[in-house]
């Protein structure tokens, strides 16, 4: 099972990177395959993710993940069992994407873009 963490602090500073790194280290056992973080300094939002690769074992499934349009960022811990059917529906509705990989996280982001 993956691990997610983060915080929101409008007074974000250089220590935010250190803090999220320490948080990711603390939950390494939740996701031993990889870990990364993302921050939006303008609003003080920081997301961290430790990955246990299940659906897509490649780096294309790494998180936090950006949507293809760049509007959304997601750190997700879950499994969408029908994500392949959702991809087919997106494509049939004309929302064909250049998929980076095979992860359910990428599918979820594409659903946000297409359907809100």
Q: Please say if 2 is a catalytic residue.
A: yes
Distance in angstroms (rounded) separating the CA atoms of residues 66 and 91: 19
Q: Are 21 and 39 in contact (CB under 8 A)?
A: no
Catalytic residue, chosen from 2, 8, 69, 111, is: 2
Q: What is the DSSP string of 32-96?
A: BTEEEEEEETTTTEEEEEEE--SS--SGGG-SSEE-TTSS-EE------TTHHHHHHHHHHTT--
Query: Among all residues, which ones are annotated catalytic?
Result: 2
């Amino acid at each position: 099972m993956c691990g997610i963490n983060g915080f929101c602090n409008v007074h974000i500073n250089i220590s935010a990177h250190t803090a999220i790194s320490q948080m990711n280290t603390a939950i390494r056992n939740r996701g031993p395959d990889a870990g990364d973080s993302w921050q939006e300094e303008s609003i003080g939002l920081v997301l961290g993710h430790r990955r246990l690769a299940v659906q897509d074992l490649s780096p294309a499934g790494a998180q936090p993940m950006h949507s293809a349009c760049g509007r959304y960022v997601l750190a997700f811990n879950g499994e969408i069992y029908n994500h392949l059917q959702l991809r087919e529906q997106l494509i049939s509705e004309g929302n064909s994407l250049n998929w980076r990989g095979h992860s359910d996280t990428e599918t979820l982001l594409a659903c946000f873009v297409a359907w809100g």
